[in-house]
């Protein structure tokens, strides 16, 4: 069983410390929800885990199956089995969804998987796209170019289902989605759940967790995870808000 271990992770951006010692373990077979107010460091954690060059790691470790990812580039981390669904996916003009996904899968498998023909790969995609209620013409469109917010989020989850990572980080996948799109995207994530998949779901709102059921809920404040709980804890946060977190931990979490 694979696991992601974050040990005393410290990150800064342009000499400003954002993460101040994050500790968290996500095992395959587990869904973890990470919540907290704006500016607490949630998206910084997601980007630092995936190796975004803007985020400088100044201390700590990111271990996947015991191997430290800190010095690895983003593509190396992806090949090891880590995945990030972006809050704001980028547009890639000139690259079709079909070509992107086929190339990404080959890179993820690193030569170890079956080299499917285009027709075989299309059949695989059609099944996954049906789950996400995506029309087949998506495959010939340029990646995220002209996509609505909901289409971009579906595209992220389609990548997730194709690449089959060990551990996925979903950074506010619910932002900008109406209730129908939220259910559809959640169905895509839930199709992955099982003993060979673990996820860290970053969200502000309980509503996503009505569809993607977490095993654990964590609250981030001032660049640290300060409170941990079970799935019912998200309902408590929805009712109480975060003011009590701020009052309890102040600026010295």
Helices (H), 81-166: 97-109, 118-131, 149-163
Q: Left (φ > 0), alpha (ψ -120 to 50) or beta: where does 188 sit?
A: alpha
Distance, C-alpha 129 to centroid of its chain: 19
Residue 19 has a pLDDT of 97
Instruction: Copy the structure tokens of residue 208.
Output: 């996503």
Residue 251 has a pLDDT of 64
Residue 230 has a pLDDT of 95
* pLDDT, mean over the chain: 93
Instruction: Say what the pTM is.
Output: 0.93
Q: What is the pLDDT of residues 150-173, one digit of tens each?
A: 999 999 999 999 999 999 999 999
Across 148-178, b (16+ Cβ under 10 Å) vs e yields: eebbbbbbbbbbbbbbbbbbbbbbbbbeebe
Residue 253 has a pLDDT of 46
Question: Could you tell me which residue, 105 or 114, shows the higher pLDDT?
Answer: 105
The packing angle between helices 118-131 and 179-190, to 10°, is: 130
What's the whole-number mean pLDDT along residues 191-210?
A: 93
- Tell the residue number behind the tokens 């002209």, with chain if given: 146
Residue 249 has pLDDT above 80, yes or no: yes
Residue 204 has a pLDDT of 87
Residue 217 has a pLDDT of 97
Contacts of residue 127, Cβ cutoff 8 Å, sequence gap at least 6: none
- Cβ atoms of residues 225 and 24 within 8 Å: yes
Q: How confident is the model at residue 111 (pLDDT cuts 50, 70, 90)?
A: low
Residue 112 has a pLDDT of 61
Instruction: Copy the structure tokens of residue 62.
Output: 């990111």
- The domains of the chain, with CATH numbers, are 3-89+165-249 (3.40.50.300)
Instruction: Copy the structure tokens of residue 79.
Output: 């090949």
What's the whole-number mean pLDDT along residues 41-64?
A: 96
- Cβ atoms of residues 75 and 37 within 8 Å: no
């Amino acid at each position: 069983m694979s696991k992601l271990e974050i040990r005393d992770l410290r990150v800064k951006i342009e000499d400003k410390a954002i993460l101040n010692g994050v500790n968290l373990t996500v095992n395959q077979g587990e869904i973890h929800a990470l919540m907290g107010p704006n500016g607490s460091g949630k998206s910084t954690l997601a980007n630092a885990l995936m190796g975004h060059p803007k985020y400088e790691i100044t201390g700590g470790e990111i271990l996947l199956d015991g191997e430290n990812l800190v010095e690895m580039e983003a593509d190396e981390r992806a090949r090891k089995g880590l995945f990030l669904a972006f809050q704001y996916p980028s547009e890639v003009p000139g690259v079709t969804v079909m070509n992107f996904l086929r190339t990404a899968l080959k890179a993820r498998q690193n030569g170890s998987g079956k080299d499917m023909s285009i027709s075989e790969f299309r059949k695989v995609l059609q099944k996954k796209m049906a789950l996400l209620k995506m029309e087949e013409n998506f495959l010939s469109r340029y990646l995220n170019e002209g996509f609505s917010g909901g289409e971009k989020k579906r595209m992220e989850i389609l990548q997730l289902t194709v690449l089959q990572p060990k551990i996925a980080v979903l950074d506010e996948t619910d932002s900008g989605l109406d209730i129908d799109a939220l259910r559809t995207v959640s169905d895509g994530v839930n199709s992955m759940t099982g003993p060979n998949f673990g996820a860290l779901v970053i969200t502000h709102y309980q509503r996503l967790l009505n569809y993607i059921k977490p095993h654990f809920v964590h609250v981030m404040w001032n660049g640290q995870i300060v409170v941990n709980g079970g799935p019912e804890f998200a309902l408590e946060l929805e009712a109480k808000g975060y003011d009590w977190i701020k009052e309890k931990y102040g600026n010295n979490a």
